[in-house]
Amino acid sequence: PGLGICEWLLTILSFLFVIMTFPISVWFCMKVVREYERAIVFRLGHLLPGRARGPGLFFCLPCLDTYHKVDLRVKTLEIPFHQVVTKDMVTLEIDAVCYYRLENASLLLTTLTSTSSAIQLLVQTTTKRLLAHRAFSELLLERKSISQEIKVALDAVTGCWGIKVERTEINLLYFPAWQVIAAEGEKAASESLRMAAEILSSAPAAAQLRYLHALHSLTAEKPAAFILPLPLDAM
């Protein structure tokens, strides 16, 4: 279907050539695909109708047909680290693993150019969207159920490509380095403030001097401002 007059003529000539050179031509027309493979045959650029060829022997015309083998076994795709932000505004770096297989080889070959890149980007965007509605504590406690939700969301899209997602897993969780450094800085600052508070509480005169120093700093920054100091006891 869809072949023009010239294409039909070439097809008939190819059939006649195979018949005239039989049985030598049979060695060039019969191809074999393994149990876990399927062959997609194109004749003069047109996808031949019907299901993918295989497993076993299949027939193709020399000089007119080209075929592509597609592996149907389950494939593993490692998703590299990418940042996500949880519902409680915690920034994490996570990686994941996606297991998938091909269900419709003809649809896949005529739809996608790079299967692994498409699935990788889809997993990353789906993960960011789902984790944006989860708190960090939920992510730690419900990692398995979240992985199942990601799988269901992926199936809704990859089914249009002829791909079946078997399983997804969130492997590791890392805090970004800058977030760890900031947390350590806050911890050190809080320890310093606690020590300063203990020192000031043990010496009331030191607290009064610190209060006067703060007032002096304010007047230095804004000379036109009027500041009325109050005693610490009254405050």
Amino acid found at 110: T
Biggest alpha carbon–alpha carbon distance for the chain: 114
Torsion angle, alpha carbons of 118, 35, 45, 119, to 10: 0
pLDDT of residue 177: 57
CA-closest candidate to residue 151, choices 159, 160, 161, 139:
159
Mean pLDDT of 51-59: 82
Cα–Cα distance for residue pair 85/139, rounded to 1 Å: 11
- Which of 173, 192, 216 is the C-terminal boundary of a domain? 173
Q: Is residue 144 part of a domain?
A: yes
* CATH number for 105: 3.30.479.30
- Which of 149, 173, 197 is the C-terminal boundary of a domain? 173
Q: Which two tokens stand for residue 140?
A: 């730690």
Within its chain, how far is the Cα of 79 from the centroid?
6
User: Quick one: DSSP state of residue 73?
Assistant: S
- Higher pLDDT pick, 65 / 227: 65
pLDDT of residue 64: 81
Domain that holds residue 17: 5-71
User: Tokens 């509480």 appear where?
Assistant: 201
User: Quick one: DSSP state of residue 69?
Assistant: E
* For residue 124, pLDDT beyond 70: yes
* For residue 229, pLDDT beyond 70: no
pTM as predicted: 0.63
- Which of 158, 173, 188 is the C-terminal boundary of a domain? 173
Q: Is residue 225 part of a domain?
A: no
Residues 93 and 126 in one domain: yes
Split into its structural domains, the chain has a count of 2
CA-closest candidate to residue 219, choices 227, 207, 230, 228:
227
User: Tokens 């419900």 appear where?
Assistant: 142
Residues 65 and 90 in one domain: no
Cα–Cα distance for residue pair 95/174, rounded to 1 Å: 9
pLDDT of residue 234: 57
Q: How confident is the model at residue 40 (pLDDT cuts 50, 70, 90)?
A: confident
Cα–Cα distance for residue pair 29/18, rounded to 1 Å: 8
Cβ–Cβ < 8 Å for 30, 41? no
Residues 169 and 94 in one domain: yes
Residues 79 and 165 in one domain: yes
Of 55-64, 67-76, 124-133, 174-183, the one with minimum mean pLDDT is 174-183
